[in-house]
Amino acid sequence: MLKMWRWYQNCLTVHPVKTQVISSAVIWGFGDIAAQTITHSTTKKHRQLKGEEKELKINWRRVATTSLFGLGFIGPVGHFWYEGLDRYMRTRLLLQPNSLRFVAAKVAIDGIIFGPLDLLVFFTYMGFSAGKSVSQVKEDVKRDFLPALIVEGGIWPLLQVANFRYVPVRYQLLYVNFFCLLDSCFLSWLEQQQDAPWKQWLASFLQMREQKGEGG
């Protein structure tokens, strides 16, 4: 394990972007395999009640599609995002590294810009990759984006506090990608929920708040 870590560090030093891109593709691919396994397990009891017994069959096409998301978006964009964000804090805002303001500003900017963008691109990309039409993709994004943003909005800031405070910049994307193993399981579960009652309740609740705001 130590040898593998040293090998990774060496690759990161010699080929930083390429290493981040490939590692993101591998981790997101494994994340989707885990997501499919968990989804199969959670729906197993429901299928048994219906008298349907199905063995787990990994959808390798979906694994490849998810892996390509890590390869084409998370890897390159994440690499330049974390490097650029750190540089911006140090050289433009002149904040002291690892200070409270430095970490808080990073968490806030990451949550406002990169978090929502990541979710939007993910749901859009996965929709088109599944062969859905533009209107179907819009409906899926409308259905899944806000629930995902709300749930992740309560978790990712805490993870990013530790990331921006203790993890060197060159390893920050790797840290995020490992937590994305869990995140991809959540996003897969969320997509499988379709128009679940809790989603409909959340949508109607947000709509009522908007109407209240307009009325006030």
pTM exceeds cut of 0.85: no
Three-state DSSP state, 149: helix
Name the nearest CA neighbour of 118 among 64, 72, 162. 72
The structure tokens 């179907």 sit at 136
What span, in angstroms and rounded, lies between the C-alpha atoms of 88 and 85? Answer: 5
Residue 214 domain-assigned (yes or no) = no
Residue 129 domain-assigned (yes or no) = yes
Residue 160 domain-assigned (yes or no) = yes
**Quick one: angle between helices 75-87 and 16-42, nearest 10?**
120
What span, in angstroms and rounded, lies between the C-alpha atoms of 59 and 57? Answer: 6
- CB-based contact 189:42 (threshold 8 Å): yes
- pLDDT tens digits for 118-169? 999 999 998 999 899 999 999 888 888 888 888 888 889 999 999 999 999 9
**Domain count across the chain:** 1
Residue 162 domain-assigned (yes or no) = yes
pLDDT reading at 210 higher than 80: no
What span, in angstroms and rounded, lies between the C-alpha atoms of 161 and 111? Answer: 11
In angstroms and rounded to an integer, the radius of gyration of the C-alpha atoms of the chain is 19
Residue type, 104: A
Average pLDDT over residues 21-41: 87
- pLDDT tens digits for 32-81? 888 888 777 766 665 665 556 677 888 899 899 999 999 999 999 999 99
What span, in angstroms and rounded, lies between the C-alpha atoms of 163 and 153? Answer: 16
Average pLDDT over residues 107-127: 93
Residue 204 domain-assigned (yes or no) = no
- CB-based contact 149:187 (threshold 8 Å): no
Three-state DSSP state, 195: coil
Residue 133 domain-assigned (yes or no) = yes
DSSP 8-state class, residue 155: T
| pLDDT for the residue numbered 69 | 93
Which of the four pLDDT bands, split at 50, 70 and 90, describes residue 23?
very high
| pLDDT for the residue numbered 150 | 85
Residue 205 domain-assigned (yes or no) = no
What span, in angstroms and rounded, lies between the C-alpha atoms of 189 and 197? Answer: 14
| pLDDT for the residue numbered 37 | 85
- In terms of Cβ atoms closer than 10 Å to its own Cβ (0-12, 13-18, 19+), residue 116 is middle
Parent domain of 47? 1-193
Residue 202 domain-assigned (yes or no) = no
- pLDDT tens digits for 159-206? 999 999 999 999 999 999 888 777 767 666 666 655 555 455 555 655
